[in-house]
A and B are shown apart, each in its own frame.
Chain A
Amino acid sequence: MSIGLTVHQIAQAVASGQRSAVQVLEEHIARIEATDPAINAFTSRRFAQARQQATAIDARRQRGEALGSLAGVPFAVKNLFDVAGDVTMAGSAVLRDHPPANRHAVLVERLLAADAVLLGSLNMDEFAYGFTTENHHHGATHNPHRAGHTAGGSSGGSGAAVAAAQVPLTLGSDTNGSIRVPASFCGVWGLKPTLGRLSRRGCYPFVDSLDHLGPLANDVTGLALTYDALQGPDPQDPGCHALGIDPTTEGLHLGTQGLRIGVLGGYFHEQAGPAARAAVEAAATALGARDEVLWPDAAQARAAAFVISASEGGSRHLPLLRRCPEALEPLSVDRFIAGALQPAAWYLRAQRFRHLHRKRVNALFHDWDVLLAPATPLSAPAIGTEWIDINGQRLPCRASIGVLTQPISLSGCPVVAAPLWPAGSDGLPIGVQLIAAPWREDLALRTAHALQASGVARLRPPAA
């Protein structure tokens, strides 16, 4: 049975002939059919095409051809990635009548080129503006560890599908925390690479200034293998600044010796509930990190990310907001309108602050290699929660879940979200962010690998 095997284990088993890609695929299709009625992670399925692809992989192996690094690994993508032949919905009903994509998004093409097998597309908040995947068009995605609780968002389907062992690997997007929040709530590994590292071509945009794409997976080696397969320059994407490939998988075993690892205090301590603090403490103990570090202007960085997102997101969708606001997601349409109406002075000041902030963040990494912080202030709230309490502050739930991820988004630093299971979270996971300097995904992944090896960060079997 291949359910629960890691990305690397599946790829090795298929490449060696120990398992066939078709066998692996059929077991995962059966898993999706058994669990998705309760979880609602998938918005579309392409099982017929996946069967053709898996059959072709097995035939190539039998002919003695070398297979890709993700041979036979089932994966699925957030439904803002173009998949040839499917309409890219981006979590919205208003795009339903648009023509289907005529080619795959670049990152989908790269995973297929590595012989991963695409099973379908996954639920999300409409146009990626949300942290809970409470989607009125497709229904809410439920947390595989607690029915009735959110899977996080906006890549909620991507987190839930991995946590439910429907697939070992997914792709998501992260503007203000949309990979790290579902990774935290669902208890899986997630990577938000450096802004500009991966091509965004063929993906439905939310905020040009902040959109990142990246993988979620059931172990760190799989995360690194996938990230390596996704890398590469893309001269046709003006937002992709990669000049080459910086492989990370081979360096995972180097561990944390010699790395200077600190713990973010101040803002990141104040905005975290007791269980989130406990998660960071457990990670810090396992990694031997003792020193507290202050992230420069964290509250202002969050504010800048918030203002930029609202303005760019609102402006992008202004034609829809004029024409058919009633057809849009009721939980986010008013926020989109508010963003469209923001004074230009707010937006421009946020972008000017960002220039200054980049210098301060880079200076911080002169003294540190990796910094730890909670990914979310608390564990997954129940679907429909309007207000949360963080250390006595009553805060609007949907806007506040990203309070710890947004400051890091602004700087574009790479972050691995690690799944921990602290005391005081009622058996639910909370993620810890492992943050490195821009373009140093290798250090975040090495640290994640060490944390996984310590046994502190890991997946747990889903409730059903």
Chain B
Amino acid sequence: MTEAHTLAYVQACAVALNLPLDDERATRVALHLQRTCAMAALLDDVPLGPHDELVEIYRPAPYFPPID
């Protein structure tokens, strides 16, 4: 992602999340997000298959019917 792409992404996502951002803050946030983007790219290089699950998956709690 270029700086311009990141800034555009930040501004669009902020609207989607109803997060008010002025231009100055959006620029600073985009800088942080670009650093994280570089981190995320490191993980893209790790081969993961369809059966590599999330580290923990949801477990339903025991169900007890209500007592009248």
Contacts and interface: CB of A to CB of B under 8 A. Distances in A.
B48 interface: yes
Nearest to B59: A238
Interface string B35-68: 1100110111110100011110000000000000
Contact of B25 (A300, A334, A342, A346): A334
Interface stretch (A75-83, A114-122, A301-309, A367-375): A301-309
A245 interface: no
Contacts of B19: 318, 321-322, 337, 340-341
Given A341-B17, A356-B48, A351 B54 contact: yes
B5 interface: no
A355 B54 contact: yes
Nearest to A333: B25
B43 A353 contact: yes
Interface in A331-358: 334-335, 337-343, 346, 348-356, 358
A399 interface: yes
Contacts of A335: 32
B17 A349 contact: no
Interface in B1-42: 9-10, 13-14, 17-21, 25, 28-30, 32-33, 35-36, 39-40, 42
Contacts of A337: 14, 19, 21, 25, 29, 32
Contacts of A224: none
A187 B22 CA distance: 42
A349 B43 contact: yes
Given A303-B39, A321-B19, A341-B10, A353 B32 contact: no
B54 A348 contact: yes
A354 B52 CA distance: 10
Contacts of A65: none
A307 B25 contact: no
A297 interface: yes
A178 B51 CA distance: 33
A325 interface: yes
A399 B39 CA distance: 12
Contact of B33 (A299, A338, A350, A399): A338
A310 interface: yes
A339 B33 CA distance: 7
Contact of A306 (B13, B17, B36): B36
B43 A300 contact: yes
A342 B54 contact: no
Contacts of B36: 306-307, 310, 338-339, 342, 346
B51 to A, nearest CB: 10
Interface string A281-295: 000000000000000
A362 B60 CA distance: 27
Nearest to A297: B46
Contacts of A353: 43, 46, 48
Interface string A257-282: 00000000000000000000000000
A341 B13 contact: yes
A12 B4 CA distance: 64
A322 B20 CA distance: 6
Contact of B42 (A300, A334, A351): A300
A325 B24 CA distance: 13
A304 B43 contact: yes
Contacts of B52: 352, 355-356
Contacts of B43: 300, 303-304, 307, 346, 349-350, 353
A213 to B, nearest CB: 19
Contacts of B10: 338, 341
A318 B13 CA distance: 13
Contacts of A352: 48, 52-55
A315 B49 CA distance: 27
Interface string A308-329: 0010000000100110010000
A322 B48 contact: no
Given A321-B19, A339-B36, 20 more contacts: A300-B45, A303-B39, A304-B43, A306-B39, A318-B19, A325-B25, A337-B14, A338-B10, A340-B19, A341-B29, A342-B36, A349-B43, A349-B44, A352-B55, A353-B48, A355-B55, A356-B48, A356-B52, A358-B55, A399-B35
Which A-B residue pairs are the 9 nearest by beta carbons?
A338-B32, A303-B39, A354-B55, A346-B40, A303-B42, A341-B13, A338-B33, A355-B55, A351-B54
13 contacts: A310-B36, A337-B19, A337-B32, A338-B32, A338-B33, A339-B36, A341-B19, A343-B40, A346-B36, A348-B54, A355-B54, A355-B55, A399-B35
Interface of A: 209, 297, 299-300, 302-304, 306-307, 310, 318, 321-322, 325, 334-335, 337-343, 346, 348-356, 358, 396, 399
